Amino acid sequence: MEVRWIEFEPTKLGPPLTVLSLISTVLLGAWSTLALEMSVGKVPFLEAVNGSTVMLPCTYASCIGIDRLYFNWQFNKDGVMQKVCESTIPSEEVEPHVEIFRDRVEFVGKNHHNNVSILLWNITFEDGGLYTCYGSNPKEKNRNHSAIFNLIVVEELKVVDNTLTIMIASAVGGAIALLMGFMLLKNFTLFVLSKLEEKNKECLVTSSGIDNTENGLSGSKADSKPTPKKK
């Protein structure tokens, strides 16, 4: 029985696979840039006093737009997700009808500039926790995304002592001012010295001219006596 080994040439299989992987990477990158994105802002948390009213921010974005975008807010209550509100937005800038499932909740985003924020009135300690803003866009084959906002309810806000910060800022400012004053004084001193040096040079040139004149050297204005003629 004869066994034959089949050898594949990697040079023939390499280029197509490389091109295919490159195309896949480009398509995935393009898809990710067009995908729906929910955002709760650059600071995804808020510390608020018990009994106050706070806004939980959320906006959505999609490069190809929306069509019957579904969104909701959910609250994580001891590990169990409780729905706060939900709605379907027909299109951008159209104010949706929002269904509310909890007391003291108001939809304030109105979908203006893709805003789907909510307001919590008279918050209690039980309102503190993680809130999730979720969205799903049928125009992107139901592409979905969510963002989490942390609400921290406290008895009173802590007063931040800025004494150390002020002292450091004052010391740095004083050092900078001292350095600038030193540089100005240095430049002024160099300027005065250069002027004095120029004046001394002028005085030396003038004094040299006067000495030559008094000594009757070449170039002086002293009268020269004529040489007597021989008889």
Q: What digits encode the pLDDT tens for the residues 35-94?
A: 899 999 999 999 999 999 999 999 999 999 999 999 999 999 999 999 999 999 999 999
Q: What digits encode the pLDDT tens for the residues 183-222?
A: 888 888 888 888 787 777 776 666 666 555 555 545 444 4
Residues 126 and 194 in one domain: no
From 154, 186, 214, the end of a domain falls on 154
Assigned domain for 58 exists: yes
- pLDDT value, residue 106: 98
State which of 3-7, 13-17, 144-148 shows the largest mean pLDDT.
Answer: 144-148
Residues 64 and 100 in one domain: yes
Predicted confidence band at 20 (pLDDT cuts at 50, 70, 90)? very low
Task: Give this prediction's pTM.
Answer: 0.59
Assigned domain for 140 exists: yes
Number of domains in the chain: 2
Residue whose tokens read 């019957």: 68
Assigned domain for 70 exists: yes
Beta strand ranges found along the chain (DSSP E): 37-39, 45-49, 54-56, 59-61, 69-77, 80-89, 99-100, 105-107, 118-120, 129-137, 143-154
Say if residue 225's pLDDT is above 60.
Answer: no
Say if residue 18's pLDDT is above 60.
Answer: no
- pLDDT value, residue 34: 58
Residues 96 and 197 in one domain: no
> For the domain that residue 138 is a member of, what is the CATH number?
2.60.40.10
Residues 127 and 194 in one domain: no
Residue 144 pairs in a beta bridge with: 136
Residues 94 and 172 in one domain: no
Residues 109 and 180 in one domain: no
Say if residue 22's pLDDT is above 80.
Answer: no
Residues 92 and 171 in one domain: no
Query: Quick one: what percent of the chain has pLDDT higher than 70?
Result: 71
- pLDDT value, residue 25: 46
Assigned domain for 119 exists: yes
Helices (H) and strands (E) in the chain, counts: 2, 11
Going by DSSP bridges, is the β-strand pair 143-154/59-61 parallel, antiparallel, or unpaired?
unpaired
Beta strand ranges found along 1-120 (DSSP E): 37-39, 45-49, 54-56, 59-61, 69-77, 80-89, 99-100, 105-107, 118-120
Assigned domain for 49 exists: yes
Angstrom distance (rounded) from CA 118 to CA 97? 13
Residues 173 and 141 in one domain: no
Predicted confidence band at 128 (pLDDT cuts at 50, 70, 90)? very high
Residues 144 and 175 in one domain: no
- pLDDT value, residue 28: 44
Assigned domain for 26 exists: no
Angstrom distance (rounded) from CA 201 to CA 100? 92
Residues 85 and 170 in one domain: no
Full residue range of the structural domain in which residue 61 is found? 36-154
Assigned domain for 22 exists: no
Residues 83 and 100 in one domain: yes
Assigned domain for 23 exists: no
Residues 133 and 61 in one domain: yes
Asked if 93 and 111 touch (Cβ cutoff 8 Å), the reply is yes
Maximum distance among all alpha carbons in the chain?
149
